A and B are shown apart, each in its own frame.
Chain A
Amino acid sequence: MKDLKDISPPKWATQLLSWYCKVELLEDLEGDLNEYFERDIKVKGVTKAKLIYVINVFKFFRPYTVRKPEFINTLINWIMLRSHIKTSMRSVARNKLFSTINIVGLAVGMSVSLLLIAFAHDLLSYDKFNEKGELIYRITSKAKFKEGYSSKFATTPVKIGQLIKEKVPGVEEITMLQAEFAGDANINGNFVPLTGFYAEPSMLRIFTLPLAKGDPTTALTEPYSIVLTETSAKKLFRAADAFGKTIHLNNLDYKVTGILKDVPFFSHLQFESLVSYSTIEPRIAKDPNLLKWGNVFQRNYAYILLQENANAFNVQAQLNAICAQENNLDKDAQVQLTLLPLYNIMMGDDLENSIRPVMPRIVLWVIGGLAFIVILSACFNYTNLSIARSMRRYKEVGLRKVIGAGRSQVRAQFLAESVIISLMALLLSFGMFLLIRPQFITIAPELLKMVKLEITLPFMLLFFAFSIVVGIAAGLLPALFFSHVKIITALRDVSTAKVFKGLSFRRALVVVQYTLTLIFITSTAIGYVQYKNILEFDLGFNTENILNISLQKNNPEELINKLKALPEVSGVSQSRLLTSVGNVWGGFIKYKGIRDSALVFTNIVDENYIPLHQYELIAGQNFITRPKTKDATSEIIVNEKTLKAFNIANGDPQKAVGEEIVLSGFQQVGRRLIIVGVMKDFHYGKLDSDISPVAFTSLTPDAFLTANGRDGLINVRVDTSDPIETMAKINEVWKSIDPVHPIEAKFYDDSIEDAYSDLSAMIKVIGFLSFIAISIASLGLLGMVVLATETRLKEISIRKVMGASSGNLVFLLSRGFVMLLVVSALIALPITYLFFEKMVLTRFPFHKAIGLELFAGLLTVMGIALIMIGSQTLKAAQSNPAEILKNEQ
């Protein structure tokens, strides 16, 4: 058996104890703990004894045992601060190359972090202007439908407002918001588009939205009351006073009962006007479809304000009870409602029917993580170079210690130096921040509406604090390193000191740095190639030169006829929606052989759509009849996948033509349709989803008609050599049809590009970061190479005298660094490859295999590194040995 006497308590715990404990109490206390430890080993075993020892060390951390902070030392450090600053400035000035490398590297890394701080700050300041913001919640839904589809919605069933008012105690106020108020306001014959929310009077009490004019208690009470913001009042009435005026919109008259101060930029709710909810209440009450519990598709939002002493858990429990009750009554859908705190909306999940685009928290974490890596890399540079330079500062530190500097003073001095460098970097990074800010905002268009990235005083303070933290982080290791220098070694002949101590540590830092850099740049390369591939992907139909114009409730016939008259237009068709960009419209098909109906994606198109987009019909033909009403349609064209999914005619396209199926949508009863054509499979969804069953039905003049016009798209194929000229002509045609609204037209290829904008934004961000990471890593490497060659200059000269060629010397000097790069590449490339192959690209079933782009980044990084290493070592190798060897020391 092992001798029990030899087992000692955990050393770190003993050190911790001696660190915090008062000197006069320490010895006795340590002894006591040892005595107990010895006892416990015998009774309870070694592991448990150690555990008890550690627990006891923590337990003795009490006011009477803890050492008072050593004021004298702190005081001296403060007094010395001036001296530290002076010597640091001298040191910075003396080593221009290293100071520049450090300052530039840190500045580049910090500018990215500044951007991120500004970005996060903006996002976090959303909705904070609400005085009672902490008590405000939005109700969100998680719905699961009979057909198997389930999703999370920002919207709620419309009847929840009434239910909460009746059944839930603890809710001070609730307002339903309906986001579908829109139309053209007629102001003395001028038509001005106006949008807004239908809102209850409580809206103005829940949110801090002060009225400039009008009575907040009654402004939203009467039906057909409208409250305008100051900006929209100006838009509608110019300089005239809008208050009390009447707005004629969609054949109804609205009275302006209030003027709202403009909604703050950092409000997730943005609107031009509020219309009293009582305006639409009668309409809602009459519509059984709207009142359905499972109907979360309408743009109805519920916001509640809790009573001051109310508990959100209790309210949530009440909501759960209501949901359970209603779910029992509704056979079609199960809805679970949750309270979402107001402050979490902007950075919450991306929900369906979101009232505005949000920035999911995870995105911020990812970008934050990447920025952290970049700044870490810059700190590595500092640490690395400072320690590598240590030989030159050994004597300084030794002398300081001789004249009485303690460890803490040496530490303070080196920390002061790194903080000074970091503050200089802050100045530079601030300029860079101003330069890259506009670039950053244009990465994604929605960012422009989301953040301002303005510089304010609290910001400046935050930046300042940030740079000090960075300075301390960068200088910590060198400070610790130098404070532990022993006087004797420092003052003895420097060459005998172990200057290359910590070499493996520094090498490890370089490897980490380059590994991260390579991962960044390789990801960018792979992402870019995949993105290009997605844009050029053959979707199964032709999108080239097709301009899609949103109908915006105008008469389609007139527009089509005028467009056809243009010589550049070679074809025009109509459709319900744009496919392949993420839009979906679904229906349910039932076929005789199969009991349950199943989901198919649909589009409603006219007879010109299929030829215009060059869909390939492998059996049957285009629509034959031209029905005049929805109910008269009798034909359907499906894709191959539909035949397989429903096993129609055993999947044989030729035989499937003529088969009858039943199609039903969300609000329609079944319609019997005959298959007249079968299309080759194509991509209806985005490329991150598989090909699914798709069916086209014929477009009739009464399809998707709303109260005052018709939505949908006009697809125009243009053949032109001068697209700007043609667009101008088309715009002219549009203006002759609709003078009020500007044309909303976009080429199909551009829409597809927009559909993947999040992908391109991500690539741009990572690309930018990889550029910065390369710059920093290269700077660091440059510093290391310069140092290594300078230190070995004499050795090189002697080798030269002995007859080594320049080539030999370059090889000798750069071998070590190249090895480091090779190790980095061996770590980085497999990681990146596996990450993409196993995690990212599996989400895109139609991706291209990763090819040579895997090595593109490596070549770039290697190229830059080799140029630097090569140029520096060559310089050293070509130096004149006589010059160098001439001077002793």
Chain B
Amino acid sequence: MKGTNLGEFEELVLLTIAALINDAYSVGICDELEKQTGRTVKLGVVHAVLNRLEEKGLVKSKLGEATQARGGKRKRYYSITSAGKSALLKSKEVRDQLWSMIPQLSLKRI
């Protein structure tokens, strides 16, 4: 099925959502990604990816409570779905498998 494969950035966003647990909303994800990867992450990109992930059914979202910050606008919190979880696991599996195929020696020589 088209769309089940995760792109590199999609995977990162998905992992961040999983890691942030209850505080996964767009700006928070953005900040966390910046902190972890050390590269500048644009809100627009994160926003688009979140939207795509939700379309694919890998994450779900709900609006939070209104607060004083953000001009009184509610945050949209994202959480990972079981499809999202299996997609993450699958991609980890593929990676682990590939890692296991590399003999220790061949890496050391590089």
On A, residues with C-beta under 8 Å from B are 8, 25, 27-32, 34-36, 38, 56, 59-60, 62, 64
Residue in A25, A27, A38, A62 whose CB lies within 8 Å of B74: A27
- Verify A30–B71 contact, CB threshold 8 A: yes
Residue in chain A with minimal CB distance to B73 = A31
- Verify A35–B51 contact, CB threshold 8 A: no
- Verify A35–B69 contact, CB threshold 8 A: yes
Report the separation of the CA atoms of residues A29 and B63 in the bound assembly, to the nearest whole angstrom: 12
Chain A residues within 8 Å of B25, by CB: 28
Closest chain A CB from B43 CB (angstroms): 6
0 or 1 for each of B28-49: is its CB under 8 Å from A? (1 = yes): 0000000000000001100110
Residue in B44, B52, B69, B73 whose CB lies within 8 Å of A28: B73
Chain B residues within 8 Å of A25, by CB: 51
Closest chain B CB from A595 CB (angstroms): 72
Q: Is the interface of B mostly helix, strand, loop or mixed?
A: helix
Report the separation of the CA atoms of residues A32 and B42 in the bound assembly, to the nearest whole angstrom: 12
Chain B residues within 8 Å of A31, by CB: 70-71, 73-75
Residue in B63, B69, B71 whose CB lies within 8 Å of A8: B71
- Given A56-B44, A62-B48, output 9 extra A-B contacts at Cβ < 8 Å: A28-B73, A28-B74, A28-B76, A31-B75, A32-B43, A34-B73, A35-B27, A38-B70, A59-B44
Residue in chain A with minimal CB distance to B77 = A28
Closest chain B CB from A46 CB (angstroms): 15
- Verify A56–B43 contact, CB threshold 8 A: yes
Tell whether A29 pairs with B71 under 8 Å between CB atoms, given A35-B27, A36-B27: no
Closest chain B CB from A109 CB (angstroms): 47
Q: Is B79 an interface residue (CB 8 A)?
A: no
Report the separation of the CA atoms of residues A62 and B71 in the bound assembly, to the nearest whole angstrom: 23
Chain A residues within 8 Å of B73, by CB: 27-28, 30-31, 34
0 or 1 for each of B61-91: is its CB under 8 Å from A? (1 = yes): 0010000011101111000000000000000
Scoring B27, B69, B71, B75 by chain A CB atoms within 10 A of each residue's CB, the highest score goes to B71
Tell whether A29 pairs with B47 under 8 Å between CB atoms, given A35-B27, A36-B27, A38-B69: yes
Closest chain B CB from A90 CB (angstroms): 47
Chain B residues within 8 Å of A27, by CB: 63, 73-74, 76
- Verify A64–B69 contact, CB threshold 8 A: no
Chain A residues within 8 Å of B71, by CB: 8, 30-31, 34
- Verify A64–B51 contact, CB threshold 8 A: yes
Residue in B43, B51, B76 whose CB lies within 8 Å of A36: B43
Residue in chain A with minimal CB distance to B68 = A5
Report the separation of the CA atoms of residues A713 and B76 in the bound assembly, to the nearest whole angstrom: 92
Tell whether A28 pairs with B48 under 8 Å between CB atoms, given A34-B70, A35-B69, A38-B69: no
Report the separation of the CA atoms of residues A36 and B41 in the bound assembly, to the nearest whole angstrom: 13
Report the separation of the CA atoms of residues A38 and B68 in the bound assembly, to the nearest whole angstrom: 12
Chain B residues within 8 Å of A35, by CB: 27, 69-70
Chain B residues within 8 Å of A8, by CB: 71
> Interface residue count for B (Cβ, 8 Å)?
17
Scoring A27, A31, A35 by chain B CB atoms within 10 A of each residue's CB, the highest score goes to A31
Report the separation of the CA atoms of residues A886 and B86 in the bound assembly, to the nearest whole angstrom: 87
Residue in A30, A34, A38, A60 whose CB lies within 8 Å of B47: A60
Closest chain A CB from B59 CB (angstroms): 14
Chain B residues within 8 Å of A28, by CB: 25-26, 63, 73-76
Report the separation of the CA atoms of residues A38 and B74 in the bound assembly, to the nearest whole angstrom: 15
- Verify B26–A32 contact, CB threshold 8 A: yes
Closest chain A CB from B65 CB (angstroms): 12
Chain B residues within 8 Å of A64, by CB: 48, 51-52
Residue in chain B with minimal CB distance to A39 = B27
- Verify A32–B74 contact, CB threshold 8 A: no
Q: Name 11 A/B residue pairs within 8 A (Cβ), A-sorted.
A: A27-B74, A28-B26, A28-B63, A30-B71, A31-B74, A34-B70, A34-B71, A36-B27, A56-B43, A59-B44, A64-B51
Residue in chain A with minimal CB distance to B51 = A64
Residue in chain B with minimal CB distance to A26 = B73
Chain B residues within 8 Å of A30, by CB: 71, 73
Closest chain A CB from B13 CB (angstroms): 15
Residue in chain B with minimal CB distance to A29 = B47
- Verify A32–B69 contact, CB threshold 8 A: no
Chain B residues within 8 Å of A34, by CB: 69-71, 73
Report the separation of the CA atoms of residues A29 and B43 in the bound assembly, to the nearest whole angstrom: 10
Closest chain A CB from B3 CB (angstroms): 14
Report the separation of the CA atoms of residues A132 and B48 in the bound assembly, to the nearest whole angstrom: 47
Tell whether A60 pairs with B70 under 8 Å between CB atoms, given A28-B76, A35-B27, A36-B27: no
- Verify A32–B48 contact, CB threshold 8 A: no
Report the separation of the CA atoms of residues A387 and B33 in the bound assembly, to the nearest whole angstrom: 57
Report the separation of the CA atoms of residues A62 and B51 in the bound assembly, to the nearest whole angstrom: 12
Chain A residues within 8 Å of B70, by CB: 31-32, 34-35, 38
Closest chain A CB from B55 CB (angstroms): 8
Report the separation of the CA atoms of residues A29 and B75 in the bound assembly, to the nearest whole angstrom: 9
- Verify B44–A60 contact, CB threshold 8 A: yes
Chain A residues within 8 Å of B27, by CB: 32, 35-36
Chain B residues within 8 Å of A36, by CB: 27, 43
Chain A residues within 8 Å of B48, by CB: 62, 64
Residue in chain B with minimal CB distance to A14 = B71
List 10 tightest A-B contacts by C-beta distance, closest first: A31-B73, A28-B76, A34-B71, A31-B70, A34-B70, A35-B70, A30-B73, A35-B27, A32-B26, A59-B44
Closest chain B CB from A13 CB (angstroms): 13
Closest chain B CB from A179 CB (angstroms): 62
Residue in chain A with minimal CB distance to B70 = A31
- Verify A32–B47 contact, CB threshold 8 A: yes
Report the separation of the CA atoms of residues A294 and B44 in the bound assembly, to the nearest whole angstrom: 62
Chain A residues within 8 Å of B43, by CB: 32, 36, 56
Closest chain B CB from A41 CB (angstroms): 12
Chain A residues within 8 Å of B76, by CB: 27-28
Chain A residues within 8 Å of B52, by CB: 64
Chain A residues within 8 Å of B51, by CB: 25, 64
Report the separation of the CA atoms of residues A56 and B47 in the bound assembly, to the nearest whole angstrom: 12
Report the separation of the CA atoms of residues A29 and B69 in the bound assembly, to the nearest whole angstrom: 14
Closest chain B CB from A649 CB (angstroms): 84
Residue in chain A with minimal CB distance to B61 = A28
Report the separation of the CA atoms of residues A30 and B74 in the bound assembly, to the nearest whole angstrom: 9
Report the separation of the CA atoms of residues A38 and B63 in the bound assembly, to the nearest whole angstrom: 21
Report the separation of the CA atoms of residues A8 and B72 in the bound assembly, to the nearest whole angstrom: 12
Residue in chain A with minimal CB distance to B71 = A34
Closest chain B CB from A20 CB (angstroms): 15
Report the separation of the CA atoms of residues A56 and B48 in the bound assembly, to the nearest whole angstrom: 13
Closest chain A CB from B29 CB (angstroms): 10
Residue in chain B with minimal CB distance to A37 = B71
Residue in chain A with minimal CB distance to B26 = A32
Chain B residues within 8 Å of A38, by CB: 69-70
Report the separation of the CA atoms of residues A550 and B45 in the bound assembly, to the nearest whole angstrom: 80
Closest chain B CB from A778 CB (angstroms): 53
Chain B residues within 8 Å of A56, by CB: 43-44
Closest chain A CB from B54 CB (angstroms): 10
Closest chain A CB from B69 CB (angstroms): 7
Scoring A32, A36, A56, A60 by chain B CB atoms within 10 A of each residue's CB, the highest score goes to A32
Closest chain A CB from B21 CB (angstroms): 19
Report the separation of the CA atoms of residues A29 and B70 in the bound assembly, to the nearest whole angstrom: 10
Residue in chain B with minimal CB distance to A9 = B71
Scoring B26, B48, B70 by chain A CB atoms within 10 A of each residue's CB, the highest score goes to B70
Closest chain A CB from B82 CB (angstroms): 23
Report the separation of the CA atoms of residues A30 and B47 in the bound assembly, to the nearest whole angstrom: 12
Closest chain A CB from B63 CB (angstroms): 7
Chain A residues within 8 Å of B44, by CB: 56, 59-60, 62
Residue in chain B with minimal CB distance to A28 = B76
Scoring B51, B52, B76 by chain A CB atoms within 10 A of each residue's CB, the highest score goes to B76
Report the separation of the CA atoms of residues A36 and B28 in the bound assembly, to the nearest whole angstrom: 11
Report the separation of the CA atoms of residues A60 and B50 in the bound assembly, to the nearest whole angstrom: 14
Report the separation of the CA atoms of residues A28 and B27 in the bound assembly, to the nearest whole angstrom: 10
Chain A residues within 8 Å of B26, by CB: 28, 32
Closest chain B CB from A703 CB (angstroms): 81
Closest chain A CB from B101 CB (angstroms): 39
Report the separation of the CA atoms of residues A31 and B71 in the bound assembly, to the nearest whole angstrom: 7
